[in-house]
């Protein structure tokens, strides 16, 4: 779940250029978050002329994290061109039923095209794009998990080094105290 929150930006999907938290609250132990996602689709110029879309496009994401059930659900829908193209995507992360050390990801998308010429072509194009991006999304999650694991390892190494330095200073201070005590006892006799 930590990786999901830190998924963007990532080198696999540079189209996502911004994420803003609109609302976040806890209800009955479930964390609910509403985020606004800004993307640059990189549509061909002919497509932007037909659709009238800018390069920046927006989507809304609603998520729920249920720590008791160990389930995270993300539901996103496009805001840009939503009257012509509707894409609703749902991701559900849960413990794998036969391997509790693994996570199961279920991904669904519903595409609807309204009032656009060649709507079946556009729907097919969006379906292929979502499929490609789903693979990129899984790669991005692996990338973020690797990054988090590196950060944890770095923090662990830093903590061990700090503890070693502390113990070394304490040992030196204690040895110096014993040395001074020995000198004082030796000079008074």
The pLDDT of residue 185 is 63
The DSSP symbol for 12 reads T
Domain with residue 11: its CATH number is 3.30.530.20
Sequence-distant (6+) residues with CB within 8 A of 57 are: 38, 39, 40, 41, 78, 79, 80, 81
Is 180 domain-assigned?
Answer: no
Query: 166 in a domain, yes or no?
Result: no
pLDDT at position 126 = 80
Q: Which residues pair with 91 in a beta bridge?
A: 74, 107
Q: 58: closest CA among 33, 40, 85?
A: 40
CA of 181: how far to CAs of 114, 177, 178, 188, in Å? 89, 6, 5, 11
Domain interval for residue 13 = 2-150
pLDDT of residue 155: 87
Query: 117-143: buried (b, 16+ CB within 10 Å) or exposed (e) per residue?
Result: eeeeebbeebeeeeeebeeebeebbeb
122 in any annotated domain: yes
Number of domain units in the chain: 1
Whether 51 is in a domain gets the answer yes
* 142 within some domain: yes
Q: How does pLDDT run along the chain (189 residues), one tens digit per residue?
A: 777 777 877 887 788 888 999 999 999 999 999 999 998 876 667 666 666 666 788 999 999 999 999 999 999 999 987 888 889 999 999 999 999 888 898 999 998 888 777 778 778 888 888 888 788 888 888 888 888 888 888 888 888 888 878 787 877 777 777 666 666 665 655
Distance CA 108, CA 103 (A): 16
Q: What DSSP letter does each residue of 100-129 carry, written as one string?
A: TTSEEEEEEEEEEE-S-TTHHHHHHHHHHH
> Is 81 within a domain?
yes
Q: How far is CA 109 from the centre of its chain?
A: 19
The pLDDT score that the predictor gives to residue 175 is: 74
pTM summary value:
0.70
In this prediction, residue 65 carries a pLDDT of: 95
Quote the pLDDT of residue 60: 96
Contact predicate 99/110, CB 8 Å = no
159 occurs within a structural domain: no
């Amino acid at each position: 779940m930590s990786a999901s929150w830190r998924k963007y930006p990532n080198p696999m999907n540079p189209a996502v250029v911004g994420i803003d938290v609109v609302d976040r609250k806890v209800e009955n132990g479930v964390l609910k978050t509403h985020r606004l996602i800004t993307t640059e689709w990189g549509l061909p110029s002919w497509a932007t002329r037909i659709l009238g879309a800018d390069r920046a496009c927006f989507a809304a994401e609603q998520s729920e994290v249920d720590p008791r059930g160990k389930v995270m659900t993300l539901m996103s829908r496009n805001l840009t061109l939503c009257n012509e193209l509707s894409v609703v995507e749902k991701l559900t992360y849960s413990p794998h039923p036969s391997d509790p050390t693994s996570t199961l990801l279920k991904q669904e998308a519903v595409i609807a095209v309204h009032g656009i010429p060649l709507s079946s072509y556009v729907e097919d194009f969006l379906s292929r794009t979502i499929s490609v991006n789903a693979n990129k999304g899984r790669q991005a999650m692996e990338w973020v998990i690797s990054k988090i694991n590196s950060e944890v390892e770095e923090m662990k190494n830093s903590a061990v080094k700090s503890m070693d330095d502390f113990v070394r200073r304490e040992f030196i201070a204690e040895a110096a105290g014993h040395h001074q005590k020995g000198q004082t006892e030796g000079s008074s006799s």
